Structure 1
Amino acid sequence: MPIAFLRSTRPVSVLLALGATVYSAWVLEVVLGTGLDPLRTYVSELAAADQPFGGLFRSTDLAAGLLILAGALWAVVRFRPRGLWEVTGWAALAVFGAATAADSRLPLSCAPTVDAACVVRETAGLVPATHLAHTWSSSLASTAAVVGIVALTVAARRGHHSRRRSLLARTGPAIAAAELVATVWTLSSIAAFEAGNGTWFLGAGQRLQVLLAAIWLGVLALSVAREKLYE
């Protein structure tokens, strides 16, 4: 029974699907009235220490990260990836989950896009170490997500020889391309904000980025559930 359970694809698909769902918890800002403009603020600012719903969003980030990490590790046991794209993809997905969980434990102390005093403290180095560390963990999570999306999509495309390809093999390239565009938008907006040139709708770009990552995770989960990821 334990061996059969380990060989099943169901735990992987369930963990990834749950991870994708919880990773999308930021949409609750629509009904919670956070006071942050979704077009111009970082998604991470929802979980900042000084925000009214910060505890909620930190908890969902932690849960999402752990679910995705568990799903990726279980996939390694189940699929035993061998090719470069497969190994890179699942490893990146595990890093993405771990970094997302770490993000929740290293929250911003304040919301820089709406609080001028927060920017001053950042510049002067007067923010907590967790605030500074958040930049690195968040960057790692974003980078790992992009690498995982691209690598596993390529693996799915290369691994299919049958006429009926998996959902990931069919739709993955479009999602990956859109994710790359959203990432470039987000990075450009961050650079503009840090240079004092406005936000360039930073919030919209980053929210599109995380939304596409969640959609891709859902597609991956469904492809795994149908046991047609590579074959």
Structure 2
Amino acid sequence: MMVVPALFPYRLIRGLMVAAAVLYCSLLLELAAGFPLGLRYSMLSELGALDQPTSVYARAMDLATGILLVLAAVLARSAARMHRDVAGLLISTALFGVGTVGTVFLPLDCAPSVSQACLESEDSGRAGLALFLHATLSTVAGVGCVAMAVFVLLILRRVGWGRLRGRTAAVMAGAALVSQIWLTVAIGIQELNGDDAHPPGILQRASVVLVCLMLATVMPGLRETLTR
């Protein structure tokens, strides 16, 4: 059994992670707004585009998500001494949060899936520095998310998969990791080949759901395995 630091605020951190999971699940906003974007051809980041009525709500959810993730990582910093993979998990969680917060302040100007002019502006490169920075920060958040999933699996592999909660966390982390890699490959192929026959909208939404489930299950799963 590994020794969890004394006075470790488990319940508070668990609550922060669950809240982050709910807020990051922007499909809830999409549902509440009546699916204003086409599910197949749009990306969820378009909900925060400045020309969309959901912009303020989507960016507020992302801002809160990022802050909660960074706060959870800071509050759990005493656990970093347990092992380097735990430290890696905390760093990647903070990276995920920082990238998510960054995209809030550099939103898309418009939603390309509903505006031909916006799509043409992106394709021609006229969208400028803001789009590049938004994409960069989204990549930072994505790298943090993938790294989180990897470190969760490394920790559980090292200490044991545990019972139901530990195994659930492992399954969610593995599924989130696979979906994120699959999504990255699909977007890359689409960008390189200009293939519109297989739009990644549905895949992205499935991936976001899996990431939300990973965020919600990681603390219970790690607690079960680290303290059993």
Same structural fold, with TM-score higher than 0.5 when normalized by the shorter chain: yes
Q: Distance in 2 between matches of 1:94 and 1:229?
A: 22
Q: After superposition, where does 1:187-198 map in structure 2 within 5 Å?
A: 187-194=184-191, 195-198=193-196
Residue 175 (structure 1) aligned to one of 172, 177, 180: 172
1:75 Cα deviation after fit: 1.2
User: Which whole-Å deviations, capped at 9, do the CAs of 1:54-85 have from their partners, x for residues lacking one?
Assistant: 111011100011011111111113x2344232
One-letter amino acid matched to 1:64? T
How many equivalent residue pairs? 222
- Using the TM superposition, give the Cα deviation of residue 120 of structure 1 relative to its aligned residue in structure 2, in angstroms: 2.2
The verdict on how the C-alpha distance between 1:204 and 1:87 changes in structure 2, with shifts beyond 3 A counting, is same
Distance in 1 of aligned mates of 2:128 and 2:27: 24
Q: How does 1:1-231 map to 2 (within 5 A)?
A: 7-77=8-78, 79-160=79-160, 165=162, 167=164, 169-194=166-191, 195-198=193-196, 200-223=198-221, 227-231=223-227
After superposition, the C-alpha distances for 1:162-201 in whole angstroms (9 at most, x for unaligned) are xx82655312332233223322332233234323210624
Superposed displacement of residue 138, structure 1 = 0.7
- When normalised by structure 2's length, the TM-score is 0.86
Root-mean-square deviation over aligned CA pairs: 2.3
State the alpha-carbon separation in 1 of the partners of residues 76 and 190 from structure 2. Answer: 39
The separation in 2 between residues aligned to 1:170 and 1:152, in whole angstroms, is 11
TM-score (normalised: structure 1): 0.85
The answer as to whether partners of 2:21 and 2:215 remain within 8 angstroms in 1 is yes
Distance in 2 (CA, whole Å) between partners of 1:130 and 1:159 is 43
Compare 93-102 and 23-32 and name the one that shifted more.
23-32
SS in 1 for 2:52: coil
Q: What percentage of residue pairs aligned between the two structures are identical? A: 28
The SS at the match of 2:76 is helix
User: Is residue 24–residue 61 contact of structure 2 (8 Å, CA) maintained in 1?
Assistant: yes
Unaligned ranges ≥5, structure 1: none
Structure 2 distance, partners of 1:81, 1:149, is: 20
Instruction: State the Cα deviation string for residues 114-158 of structure 1 (Å, max 9, x = none).
Output: 333223222333225322211111111111101111212321331
